[in-house]
Amino acid sequence: MMADRVGLGWRGELAASILERLVAIDVLEVIAEDWTRAPREEQRALAALGRERPLLLHGVAMGLASCHRVDPRRLDDMARLVEVVRPELWSEHLAFVRAGGVEIGHLAAPPRTAASVDGTLENLRRAARVVGALPLLENIATLVDPPASTLDEPAWTRAIVAGSGSPMLLDLHNLYANAVNFGHDPMAMLRAMPLESVRLVHLSGGRWLTPHGVAPRLLDDHLNDVPDPVYGLLAALAARAQGELTVILERDGNYPAIGHLVAQLDRARRALAEGRARALGRAA
Amino acid sequence: MSAAVEAFLARLYTDAALREAFIASPGDVARREGFAGEEAAALESTDLVGLKLAAESYGRKRERRSRK
């Protein structure tokens, strides 16, 4: 029996509710940049929370997937936070967030090329040297198919995961959004990802944008509930994954009552159990 | 050359005037920015609807962050 875990992203707005329902939450994920410049006593309080539930640190602003060198100050910040908080692991996105002195302000998909694979691998080596461990790598959602790409997303992701040895954080809503936005079958895209490396999973929701005269596109906004097809992807992943999975529900606003979020955690547990049962059925 | 494309994309996402000019005439703007050959051709076939939606989304994120 796989000891899969299901948890929630820690947000200040949800703190009291999370502590009230901690029994329903196996693990907590914390946005690293919310804490890197926090006073040391607050970082120690976070470390204390880590004695209640396993803590995962999630970076959102490093910009590791780039031909440009990662900012060493950001690596130092992460290293100091890891030293104080002692998380179970840390993760970052396969994204660039700045280039040529310009801050984009969010996660952007770089051109998927051999050059960006090489740049990312170099940045990951730097990150591992400074922080002391490789991050888990998360696929991002994008509204624009990155121009000048020569590799598709699964092939580009596989090259980086294989080249770095980093485990993968597979965001299933990001995968779903990219598939539906660019005309791919979500299940086929899931199967093309390096599933043998997936240890951590993100679930979230989004909303449809309806630009004039063209097909709608799905924006991953973390403000809405997890849509049904994403639970289907989770069950399919659990049926294929070799190791134990940790699933994190992300919500960044438009917060519902905690019971509503806990119900989504329960649904994720059912999807995991369904996938594991399917795998056992195949093995029998 | 992906480094130059990344830097150009960062400007397209954040500079509305450059983006409008690019959407109106991607090939001309790409060549004016120094791209040639395969990269100019790739930029010329950029998904312009996606570019506009992505830039709007990044703009909203920057605005929210500046209000915090």
- Beta-bridged to residue A108, according to DSSP, are A96
Best of B1, B8, B9 to disrupt the A interface (most A CBs within 10 Å) is B9
H/E run at residue B39? helix B37-44
Average pLDDT over residues A31-49: 96
Q: Tell me the CATH number at A209.
A: 3.20.20.150
Q: Do B14 and A143 touch (CB under 8 A)?
A: no
| Contact call for residues A144 and B53 (beta carbons, < 8 A) | yes
Q: Which residues of B touch A66 (CB under 8 A)?
A: 6
ipTM of this complex: 0.95
A263 near B CB under 8 A: no
Output the pLDDT for position A211.
85
Count of domains in chain A?
1
pLDDT in tens, A110-159: 999 999 999 999 999 999 999 999 999 999 999 999 999 999 999 999 99
| Residue B36, helix vs strand vs coil | coil
Count of domains in chain B?
1
Average pLDDT over residues A56-61: 98
Helix axes B16-24, B2-14, angle to 10 degrees: 110
pLDDT in tens, A191-205: 999 999 999 999 999
| Contact call for residues A175 and A233 (beta carbons, < 8 A) | yes
- Beta-bridged to residue A102, according to DSSP, are A99
Greatest distance between any 2 Cα atoms in chain A: 57
Q: Do A110 and B49 touch (CB under 8 A)?
A: no
The whole domain housing B43 covers 2-67
Specify the amino acid at residue B31. R
The whole domain housing A9 covers 5-283
A201 near B CB under 8 A: no
Q: Do B5 and A66 touch (CB under 8 A)?
A: no
- Give how far Cα A57 sits from Cα of A10, A121, A222, Å: 10, 20, 18
| Contact call for residues A129 and A73 (beta carbons, < 8 A) | no
Q: Which residues of B touch A102 (CB under 8 A)?
A: 7, 10-11, 14
pTM greater than the 0.90 cutoff: yes
Average pLDDT, chain A: 97
Q: Do A108 and B47 touch (CB under 8 A)?
A: no
Cα end-to-end span (Å), chain A: 14
Greatest distance between any 2 Cα atoms in chain B: 43
A226: which residues sit within 8 A by CB, 6+ positions away?
Answer: A173, A203, A204, A205, A249, A264, A267, A268
A229 near B CB under 8 A: no
Could you say which of B38, B51, B53 has the minimum Cβ distance to residue A209?
Answer: B53
Q: Which residues of A touch B47 (CB under 8 A)?
A: 144-145, 147
Shortest Cα distance from A274 to chain B (angstroms)?
Answer: 36
pLDDT in tens, A155-193: 999 999 999 999 999 999 999 999 999 999 999 999 999
Q: Which structure tokens are listed for A80?
A: 């100091």
Local confidence band at A283 (pLDDT 50, 70, 90 cut-offs): confident
Q: Which residues of B touch A156 (CB under 8 A)?
A: none
Q: Do A147 and B7 touch (CB under 8 A)?
A: no
Q: How far apart are CA A264 and CA A203, in angstroms?
A: 9
Average pLDDT over residues A83-95: 98
Shortest Cα distance from A174 to chain B (angstroms)?
Answer: 14
Chain B residue with minimal CA distance to A208? B53
pLDDT above 70: residue A1: no
- Beta-bridged to residue A55, according to DSSP, are A28
Please compute, for residue A64, the number of CA atoms within 13 A of its CA located in the half-sphere on the CB side.
29
pLDDT above 90: residue A91: yes
CB pairs under 8 A between A and B: 102
| Residue B21, helix vs strand vs coil | helix
3-state secondary structure chain A: CCCCEEEEEECHHHHHHHHHCHHHCCCEEEEHHHCCCCCHHHHHHHHHHCCCCCEEEECCCCCCCCCCCCCHHHHHHHHHHHHHHCCCEEEEECCEEEECCEEEEEEECCCCCHHHHHHHHHHHHHHHHHHCCCCEEECCCCCCCCCCCCCCHHHHHHHHHHHHCCCEEEEHHHHHHHHHHCCCCHHHHHHHCCHHHEEEEEECCEEEECCCCCCCEEEECCCCCCCHHHHHHHHHHHHHCCCCCEEEECCCCCCCCHHHHHHHHHHHHHHHHHHHHHHHHHHC
Q: How far apart are CA A46 and CA A66, in angstroms?
A: 31
